[in-house]
Structure 1
């Protein structure tokens, strides 16, 4: 057999033995980069083909939850949040990863699981077993345009209050020139507008439920927070705010159209990347705002890769998720993007010890790490509560409840409801959820 024939036969045999895995992920910039780098994975594992399903956050959650809960098996890797992992693990919907690490000593050595930040790793561990690995982890922080602040004679403190944010917004807001005082999430969804708004409620002294699981959404704290949020966004936010989530506000901020933006720490790298941001030299960073208390002002979140129990490609899926969350992958992103500031943050100690990362991300890396480390899912409210979570309530029913309340909040912002009407509807929905879930005694 000549050389060409041998190569052709080898190619045919490789195609015949190749497996295909389907990865479901959110359309955030970091995940888009992961999809673009698939050919690099194929170089390492030529016998594994990767099919992508990339969706907006709300739609992704619905599709993955339905598929994983029903055992349909459409996805071999699911991108899931810190909220879902412990709930889904207890439901038996996810493959435990600890046994898979045990079966793959070569991957264990190169992956260095001990390098993953302890708090992040702990949030993904249930009953002593790891059920997902972090693609990136985040808290929340305040971004501001230093050029706009300088022109207005303003100074952003290291720890702003929400009242200061409102004052700054009033002085920067200039819609005639396409500049808005502040951009905040308005798109309905438990992981969209309610993520930001719940941290605001926390700092206004509010909580979702008291220790008897009685809803607390008709309290002065919630009314003060919702009134403040609606007034702030209506007066000093961009038009059509109810259509703006993380991605839309990232675009506005990176184009220089927002004076301030309170959102995920993961955006710090994007705003510092010249290929995607026009404000790399003027973006400033501060802690997430506080109200009457600092408790629960900055959220904790991670996007993670997990293997649904229904997969038939367990080994191939494991190889992909360990590749995409490895030190090797992080270095690959830095090389591809041309800057270490753009790597997936918040997951590994080695990233924050890396001299190149310190040089590229020095303006924000310490603040990001501090925010992640200080976000406490067990003590996020002024008064005691029967649940965990900073920007969510860690019960299965919250996905539906949070989105429902998010719709009422968006209704108050758009003028469909008054604040009082939105709070009444939200209070009733929360009590109904607690009763039907068996939480209220």
Structure 2
């Protein structure tokens, strides 16, 4: 009897001890305590003039109050961002938080400009036990933050291409729903939604020379038709029948787009829909807050959102976005402070506040809430797009910036009719193969895929 009592007492003591240890472990890490050694530190970042960054700016005071870490940012145009960051890396400029576009990751990581997050996740003083990397959409963490199987950044400003449309304009033209396919958009919807006399057009495809031309315009018409920039052997593929069909499609669509479409960037395309000049645009999910802002948009309750149209190859929407990473050339103190901010702004805890402030979080758990889907109409088509998207929508290797310049130049010439689609594609293919050959992809010096 006495032995049984002692065994029960020991068992209860063990359970109590385990419970106390679990509670101690659960409460062992707090952002406030983790950041105490870095209080008073100022970290520098580059932001864009887009809703996701404005959302972060609204939340940053909360982080600063909790940690004592000061976050300073410069807002610059997207077109200048990569160049400014590369100059910072080369000169040791003041940039601690690195904004990494999906197509800059290979270049930044290969040059050892970024710190692998394992440096921080392996440090119990800096690593939030609730980080939960598995909660990020795999396509976003892999595409925006992972290079050669090493994670360098966490998804921050996340995009899927969506079809935004004016329900009222479509209804007036006799349509009760948006086009489900690109073929429908061109042949059924576009003629009825275009009236140049009234300065009204069916569609606007942002196509300004530069990354907007190469990614948002050129690549957008390749994938749905089964085309691609490169084939399985890593050779240029724009003369394939599928790629040619996609590029020819864009030329046919031009007569239903506003004059000067080659000068449209994101702001111009979004504004054209917001002001009633066009009925439809394919744009990044991050612009939903702009289109619902009554101070910037007249569309109001007429706004509709759907997945991008399907092509012969199915649903192949645009994929884009950024991660936040830590500059390998910053001091150890600034690196730690930067990581604490990145970990916080992309956390599960901050996902809902970030969404409500106008950002687009990459956390799967957030979008499982039916109330979120009901409140934000763009969520359902965006999640569907991320689940079936194209991870290599744009090549992420270091040579992309050079290739993007080639496409920007010759893609624009195609749209303007200065060169035929076939001849323009041939020129791009030749130049792309030359860039990749010089980089060593065809002589075994570099692996074909990352």
| Structure-1-length-normalised TM-score | 0.82
- Residues 10-409 of structure 1 correspond to what in structure 2 (within 5 A)? 18-46=40-68, 48-68=69-89, 70=90, 72-105=92-125, 108-109=128-129, 111-123=131-143, 124-126=145-147, 129-156=150-177, 159-190=180-211, 192-233=213-254, 235-274=255-294, 276-294=296-314, 297-312=316-331, 313-333=334-354, 337=357, 342-345=358-361, 347-361=362-376, 363-377=377-391, 389-390=392-393, 392-409=394-411
What do the CA deviations read for 1:346-393 (whole angstroms, capped 9, x no partner)? x112321335423311x332221111011132xxxxxxxxxxx12x12
Residue aligning to 1:435 = 437
User: Cα–Cα, structure 1 residues 307 and 71, in superposed 2: closer, same or farther, change >3 Å?
Assistant: farther
How big is the alpha-carbon RMSD for the aligned residues of Structure 1 and Structure 2?
2.8
User: Cα–Cα, structure 1 residues 273 and 354, in superposed 2: closer, same or farther, change >3 Å?
Assistant: farther
Q: Secondary structure at the match of 1:417?
A: coil
- Contact 1:35-1:52 within 8 A present in 2 as well: no
User: Cα–Cα, structure 1 residues 59 and 416, in superposed 2: closer, same or farther, change >3 Å?
Assistant: farther
User: Cα–Cα, structure 1 residues 162 and 142, in superposed 2: closer, same or farther, change >3 Å?
Assistant: farther
Task: Identify which range, 89-98 or 141-150, moves more after superposition.
Answer: 89-98
Question: Structure 2: any 5+ residue segments left out of the alignment?
Answer: 1-35, 444-450
Question: Structure 1: any 5+ residue segments left out of the alignment?
Answer: 1-13, 378-388
- Contact 1:158-1:286 within 8 A present in 2 as well: no
Task: Identify which range, 421-430 or 100-109, moves more after superposition.
Answer: 100-109
Larger radius of gyration: 2
- Contact 2:106-2:397 within 8 A present in 1 as well: no
Equivalenced residues, count: 404
Alignment partners' CA distance in 2, 1:358 and 1:374: 18
Residue aligning to 1:381 = none
User: Cα–Cα, structure 1 residues 271 and 324, in superposed 2: closer, same or farther, change >3 Å?
Assistant: same
- Contact 1:96-1:131 within 8 A present in 2 as well: yes
Alignment partners' CA distance in 1, 2:191 and 2:349: 45
Alignment partners' CA distance in 2, 1:410 and 1:353: 41
